[in-house]
Amino acid sequence: MRALLLTLLAGSLWTCTDVIELETDFTDPQLVVDAWLTDEAGPQTIRLSLSQDYYANRLPTPVENAEVVVCRTAPDTACFVFAPRDSGRYVWTPAPGERIGEVGQEFTLGIRHGDENYVGRTSLYRVPPIDSISIQFEEERLGLDEGLYAQLYARDFAGVGDAYLIRSTINDTLLNRPSELNLAFDATFDAGSGTDGIAFIFPIRFSINKTDDDGAFVPLIAGDKVEVELWSLSPEAFYFLGVARDQLQNGDNGIFQIPVANSPGNVFNVDTQESALGIFNIAAVSRAARVVE
């Protein structure tokens, strides 16, 4: 909610920007765990890398030679070894028909790298089905050209605390601009808003559309293919992505920017209890696709 309002406010001012050169005081890279798994069939990948200077503008330094394992810890015990590949990738390829687990089950991630051991825990949270992707004609209004736009219809579960990541792909292009990082918490933007069990609110339904460089939505044309995935998030994963979203989109807030904040991770060094960067989450996934006629 806030993000939307701030952008609205900031957009109404006559500000101007210049690119400047900055040096940072960054010296110590930290371990980054990029462990966003799903309950779907198919290979699951965990990436280990190091954090880098904000302005380095390069691919991350991979962390090789680690041992990575994910274990289902409740209700039963089963472990899945993630085999090292190139570029800091660790991959588990399930046998045909095999899945990592089901909604409600608990999991632990273990990483050993040199003398350091890291552990993360999570549960597999529920995700509602996507009822439909509807394509509707919208008339011109401020910030929106007239044309066809998609909307994602799904209904939040009753009960507070359901959180989802919405990933939209249009014509095989994954929408991954900072402004296209879309989350839902009980059908709205953030925790604490008091909504529950309703259809995703309009701005979230509408967020699956493509945006241009200026942040304006781009209308669809006949033949466009819209694919949407809904991933369930643990509370820790939602909080992480919520902070990341607010930070990634903060530049648009102009004079109303919020303070720089770090996304808290959920994978910890066993000895120091310090957090590695990044999240271990296993998502249940709903999918839907539609071609514009």
Q: Which residue among 22, 96, 137, 222 contacts another protein (CB under 8 A)?
A: 22
Supply the minimum distance, in Å, between the C-beta of residue 259 and another protein.
Answer: 6
Q: Which two tokens mark 56? A: 């380095």
Residue 21 interacts with another protein (CB under 8 A)?
A: yes
Residue 163 interacts with another protein (CB under 8 A)?
A: no
Taking residue 114's Cβ as centre, other Cβ atoms within 10 Å add up to 8
Site for another protein in 259-288 (CB under 8 A): 259-264, 277-279
User: For residue 66, what are the contacts with CB-CB under 8 A and spacing of at least 6?
Assistant: 48, 84, 90, 111, 112, 113
Q: Which stretch binds another protein (CB under 8 A): 64-72, 78-86, 106-114, 200-208?
A: 200-208
Residue written as token pair 């939602």: 238
**Beta bridge partners of residue 101, listed in sequence order:** none
Supply the minimum distance, in Å, between the C-beta of residue 78 and another protein.
Answer: 25
> What's the chain's Rg over C-alpha atoms?
20
Q: Is the peptide bond before 75 cis (omega within 30 degrees of 0)?
A: yes
Residue 8: enclosing H or E segment and its boundaries? Answer: helix 2-10
DSSP-derived secondary structure letter, 2: H
Q: Which stretch binds another protein (CB under 8 A): 71-79, 102-110, 122-130, 139-147?
A: 139-147
Site for another protein in 42-61 (CB under 8 A): 47, 49-55, 57-60
Q: Which residue among 113, 121, 256, 291 contacts another protein (CB under 8 A)?
A: 256
- Cα–Cα nearest to 264, from 280, 253, 249: 280
Q: Which residue among 97, 255, 272, 293 contacts another protein (CB under 8 A)?
A: 255
Q: What is the Cα 277 distance to its own chain's centre?
A: 15
Which is closer to another protein, CB of 77 or CB of 198? 198
Which is closer to another protein, CB of 100 or CB of 165? 165
Residue 135 interacts with another protein (CB under 8 A)?
A: no
Q: Which stretch binds another protein (CB under 8 A): 64-72, 94-102, 120-128, 187-195?
A: 187-195
Q: Which residue among 239, 267, 284, 288 contacts another protein (CB under 8 A)?
A: 239
Residue 174 interacts with another protein (CB under 8 A)?
A: yes
Q: Which residue among 45, 195, 269, 286 contacts another protein (CB under 8 A)?
A: 195
- What's phi and psi for 136, nearest 5 deg? -130, 150
The C-alpha atoms of residue 112 and residue 98 are separated, in whole angstroms, by 25
Residue 91: enclosing H or E segment and its boundaries? Answer: strand 89-92
Q: Which stretch binds another protein (CB under 8 A): 77-85, 107-115, 120-128, 177-185?
A: 177-185
Q: Which residue among 76, 115, 139, 293 contacts another protein (CB under 8 A)?
A: 139
Taking residue 35's Cβ as centre, other Cβ atoms within 10 Å add up to 25
Residue 232 interacts with another protein (CB under 8 A)?
A: no
Taking residue 151's Cβ as centre, other Cβ atoms within 10 Å add up to 19
